[in-house]
A and B are shown apart, each in its own frame.
Chain A
Amino acid sequence: MGERNTPELLPGTLYMLILRTLAAGPMHGYAIAKRVKEASRDDIAIEEGSLYPALNRMLVKGWLKAEWGISDNNRKARFYRLTPEGQKQLEQEAAEFDRMIRAIQLVMRTV
């Protein structure tokens, strides 16, 4: 992975990306990573080293719930699901992120 040139994830956006991905429905960790990668056309790769700690921190905060289920490839997998608090958090973070991006773009264009 090291040799591939993926841009650094903007700080503080990992939670938002996971929340957005899970808004589509319950998913296991591997699928979340894959989905983010695909959706970003391979520009964003979530490292496993930060994915699982992040998922657990979100569990602690109560944004997610985890259940064991059976995956597409017929294995026991742990599925994460958004809680109502998670949904709220997503909306809040997305709105803030949009505002920030717009502000940055404004600055970049005018100055």
Chain B
Amino acid sequence: MLTELWNRLTYLFRRNRFETELDAELQFHLESRADELYAAGMSRREARAQARRELGSAAHIQEETRSAWQFRWLEDLHADLRYAVRGLRRNPAFAATAIACLALAIGANTTIFSLTTEVLFSQPSVRDADSLVSIRVGGSSHATQAAWRFLYGAKIFDGIAGENEESETNWRHGDVSERLFVVRVTDNFFAVTGIPLAAGRPIEPGAPGVVISHRLWQRRFSGDPAALGASMLLDGKLYSVVGILPRDHRTVTGFGFSPDLYAPTADPKTRVALFARLPEGVDRAAVQARLDAVYRQFDVQNRTPSEVSAAAGLERVSSQKLFSVAAFFGMLLAVAGLVLLIACANVASLLLARASSRVQEIAIRLSIGAGRGRLIRQLLAESLLLAMCATAAGLSINLVITSMLSRIRLPLPLPLQFTIEPDWRLLAYASTLAIGTCLFAGLLPAFRATRILVPQARQVGRGSTLRGVLVAVQVAVSVVLLSAGLLFLRNLIRASSTNPGFDVHQTIWSRMTLVSETRSREVAAAGLDLLRALPGVDSAAAARVVPLNGNITNGLSIRTDRGASSVHVLFRMNYVTPDYFRVMQIRIRAGREFQPHDRDVAIINEAMAQRLFGNSDPIGRTMTWDAGTIRVVGVAANSKYFTLGEQDMPAYYAPYDTTPGARAAVDFLIRAVGRPEPLVPEISRRLGELDRTAAVETKPMSQALAFALLPSQVGAAVLGAVGLLGLVLAAVGLYGALLYSVSRRLPEIGVRMALGASPGSVLGLVVRQSAILAGFGSLVGLALAILAVRPLAMFLIPEVHPTDPLTFVLVAVALFAVALAATIGPAVRALRVDPATALRHE
């Protein structure tokens, strides 16, 4: 069997020699037979003629012999493909349009697929991910280290380790301090998870050190192997670099989270997320039961059951309730799928048009005996070729976009980086798309083309009906996409033009992260003095919460000196220095700002005043709850505190000095006299001089707002781009269908004009057809869109309603404009018909 295959394959490469050899062999046969006949007494000429007669048709022998060697279907395919290439080259506009349509759609599809699989289903870089489980003791995501040590001793697992991924550290090198994202791990973390390293050794019990990411290694050690063994001063403590992670390291946290380094837990108060190895042959349910029994001994008060869930794969998505993330990517996939559907419809309608224009050719070939199957195969080869070219082009688009995505860092306060690399899943997906596209776009026209019998070669009827349906489907789908895209765009416009209630254009935010929280008050005071003295600075303040970038929300029952009963209020809380309201340009409606050394006083916003004191003047009144009695000294205007979507939340400001507890981070807010950007480096430098071990991060407030707008931006950009792509594809489809229909009806139009039809009525023919296609498509599309956009509400700010008619009106108007544009060309073509010429063709 194998020899046979091999022999056949080698034949493909020595086909020419084979032909000459066969000729020589048959020649030899003829001559030998002629010799024999000559020897038996025939004349030379007769002998040769007789030998030739006996041999029969040499061509037949050759054909038969050749077929002994050939892969018949392969040869046919080869011939079909060659024919298809010639066909496409003769019609480059058709080929380019079809390939571009499919390539864009496949490119978009595979990109979104790559991103989805990376975000949702990528496996963490660990040994045997299936037996690694995530443990939530008592239902909480992070446990105390005491709980970890207790479970470690309980020996339920084949090893249990903890990590805290939300830590940051200050790395002092040279004169600068840099803030790094660090994952704090228990000393056995690497042993339990089996994270592979590119170089060096992991963090081990009794052998501390840090393991740095490939990115940090490249960025700060220029990829020098000597980085192993180098020391790093982190939060004032010396660590040596013991290991380097590979470039494609994926954390157990997932979602593209990519810290700068792993370090041992430094603070015994750090809570850790627990990961454990299942003992061999024990399943999660059995472990869960033992865990619950054991954990109750440790924490007798806590009755919340613990959860043992998969640390990787599809199960993680369902167990960690990541449905909104999954829904978002599901929506993206659906959208990309719809665009591919449009592209396929487009290409199918192009192929259909082509097949109809080849009706005569096909009729002739059928009548001289070409098999129907053979013809269908040949037409399919053409679409297969298109699909292959388009997939190749689409895959290259995908590679370019994903490598770009892998390199950019999103403007988020978390280190997210996607390691998107093409893999077998992507290859399988892309080739499935190609074959699916080929079958869909190719088969329909192929069957249609060969069904036509010779006498009806000029009949068009059903072909154009089908094309009409395809165009209407395209219009409908692009209406759905555009509605969704426009909704996100409106959301974005609405969200970015939403006045947050404070000024973002002249404000600068500088965060100083200290090594230890003990000096934070001193540093805040010194920093404010320094900032106020800087030229170009109008005013400066410190705040516990930077609006839209953090949140403290309290729910309290407060009693006022106005009424006896207490009122339960949910409010945003902030601790601010004097000048905060001046820096942020938040109006003080009544009373005064804070003053130095204020204590037991508060400034509340209008919503809070309304809630507690109704329409009476709150200044000088008191509020009492279990913490004591506070006097209201001012009323500030309402503004946005945590999200742009929130509506007039009550808010409560307390003096900065009364901030409970201590934090290592100090947030300064600075008002510039002019544009804030030129001040940024100077502020960073001067604050850095204040404490050389601190990390300082300074940016204009407008930039800091980007985080709040990101979901809308992504949604608007993706859906908008995809919707526009869909619209363009639909426009091309409409244009093609109309133009084709006009060209088929040229004789009819000629006759009409000859019989005295006015240009207006000829125009009416084209416009009517266009209106039917676009109108029907958009009606269906709008009906679908009203249903389809409903679930999008969860991604939108409350001011934008998914079913707001304005969205659909705008889409309908856009579609009308595009349909009009697509009609102009064919209409002009119809008007230019010269009756004499048209009739002569008939």
Residues on A facing B (Cβ under 8 Å): 1, 28-30, 47-50, 52-53, 56-57, 59-62, 71, 73, 75-78, 85
Contact = CB atoms under 8 A, between A and B. Distances in A.
B4 interface: yes
Contacts, number: 68
B298 interface: no
A28 B33 CA distance: 13
B25 A52 contact: yes
A1 B65 CA distance: 21
A73 B32 contact: yes
B61 A75 contact: no
B538 interface: no
Contact of B32 (A1, A30, A85): A30
A78 B29 CA distance: 10
Contacts of B61: 48-49, 52-53
A85 B4 CA distance: 12
A70 to B, nearest CB: 11
* Shortest 6 CB-CB contacts between residues of A and residues of B: A53-B64, A62-B3, A56-B68, A57-B68, A30-B32, A56-B65
Contacts of B55: 48
Given A30-B28, A59-B7, A61-B7, 12 more contacts: A30-B32, A48-B56, A48-B61, A50-B64, A56-B65, A56-B68, A57-B68, A60-B7, A60-B8, A71-B32, A77-B25, A78-B21
What band does the interface of chain B fall in when counting residues whose beta carbon is under 8 Å from A? 20 to 34
Contacts of B56: 47-49
B69 A52 contact: no
B32 to A, nearest CB: 4
A52 B68 CA distance: 10
A76 B26 contact: no
Q: Report whether over half of chain B's contact residues are helix, strand or loop; otherwise say mixed.
A: helix
A77 B31 CA distance: 11
Contact of B68 (A48, A53, A75): A53
A52 B31 contact: no
Contacts of A53: 61, 64-65, 67-68
Contact of A60 (B25, B28, B33, B69): B69
B754 interface: no
B60 interface: yes
Given A30-B33, A52-B22, A52-B65, A78 B3 contact: no
Contacts of B33: 30
Contact of A76 (B11, B24, B54): B24
Contacts of B11: 60
Interface centre among B4, B26, B29, B60 (most CB of A within 10 A): B29
A110 B31 CA distance: 50
A49 B22 contact: no
B57 interface: yes
B7 A62 contact: yes
Could you say which of A52, A59, A77 has the most chain B C-beta atoms within 10 Å of its C-beta? A52
A30 B37 CA distance: 14
B235 interface: no
A63 to B, nearest CB: 10
10 contacts: A28-B25, A30-B33, A48-B54, A49-B64, A52-B64, A53-B65, A53-B68, A59-B7, A62-B4, A73-B32
A50 B56 CA distance: 11
A75 B31 contact: yes
B35 interface: yes
